[in-house]
Amino acid sequence: MTDIEILTGLEVDFHDLRAHLEGPSWPDVDHVLISDQFLPSTDGPLSPHRVRSLLAHGAMTPHEVISRLVEATVAAMGLIEQSIIAHPFSFLKRIGIDELLMTSAQLRQFADHARSTKTWVEVNEKWACPGDRVIHELVRRGVRIVAGSDSRVSESVGVYHHVRRVHDSLKAYSSPIAFDGN
């Protein structure tokens, strides 16, 4: 017997700039995790491969990618109670864009909307995201932070290196990361 609380969740992706969420009708779960597996566009979701191609051919800029991603993520916040933004900005890592290119205004918008909608934000072990700049802004603005391993194998469940480093960097704040154990 332990004091571990088991919560259920469902991960869904947003597919357009209006934050249309792909997923089944919402079952009775504790949390819905909203992720950025694709880049939303007016013509539907764009895969990382497609966005890398658009960037390589000059049809899209890194700043446009970040702008769309922030816009859709903010629009998705608060659509569903008990939502968590899962591995935020991992899409940028998949296409080779540094989240440091996000403007201060975009970062404030992301953090303020997460706080006002009571949306939690995950620090993700697998993707090592978001980075310190984003996490520190979220914590400064009172956003609830949770940790996730994004494990696909039992041996990595609860194994945290990036998350622990982030946690240690936040010791000056009064809002610690809650380890969710998945």
- Residue 8 Cα to chain centre, angstroms: 18
Confidence at residue 182, expressed as pLDDT on a 0 to 100 scale? 44
- What is the distance between the alpha carbons of residues 165 and 143, in angstroms, rounded to a whole number? 19
Q: Where are the domains of the chain?
A: 9-179
CATH superfamily to which 9-179 belongs: Metal-dependent hydrolases (3.20.20.140)
Question: Which of 41-50, 133-142, 172-181 shows the lowest per-residue confidence on average (mean pLDDT)?
Answer: 172-181
| pLDDT at site 179 | 46
Q: Indicate the pLDDT class of residue 23, thresholds 50, 70 and 90.
A: low
* Crossing angle between the packed helical segments 162-169 and 132-140, to the nearest 10 degrees: 50
